[in-house]
Amino acid sequence: MDISGDAPAESASWGPIIGLANSLPKTRLETIVIEAIYRHRYLRDVAELRHAECRQIIEHDDASRPAREAYVRAMIDMHAQQSILSTLLGVLGYVPEMPAE
């Protein structure tokens, strides 16, 4: 995915992020991308936890609305981070090697 001046229309809203990322040296941008990958993994784990909580509550109680809303918020956060991560990866041009966890 090449994010440049000829980016597709749906990427137009990411213009400020693309501009900021393009202004950085690749080594610094790579560090930011790695941080974004870790953040996405964390948000994915939170979303999975909220989903499990929601399912457990639905099975045992009818008052599942707060749990469902917590799950929806967690999924929105995760998908927003995924969009940012995809944009940063497009600017970087490759998936960086991840340090061992």
Mean pLDDT of the chain: 86
Q: For the residues 95-101, what does the mean pLDDT come to?
A: 85
Question: 69-92 pLDDT, tens per residue?
Answer: 899 999 999 999 999 999 999 999
Q: Tell which residue, 87, 83, 89, 78, has the closest CA to residue 34.
A: 89
Question: 2-29 pLDDT, tens per residue?
Answer: 444 444 445 568 889 999 999 999 999 9
Sequence-distant (≥ 6) Cβ neighbours of residue 71 within 8 angstroms: 47, 50, 51, 53, 54
- Domains recognised in the chain with CATH numbers: 14-89 (1.10.287.160)
What's this model's pTM, rounded to 2 decimal places? 0.79
Q: Tell which residue, 95, 76, 77, has the closest CA to residue 86.
A: 95
The per-residue b/e assignment along 47-67, b for 16 or more CB within 10 angstroms, e otherwise, is: beebbebbeebeeeeeebeeb
Question: 42-78 pLDDT, tens per residue?
Answer: 999 999 999 998 888 876 666 678 888 899 999 999 9
* 60, HSE (Cβ side, Cα atoms, 13 Å): 7
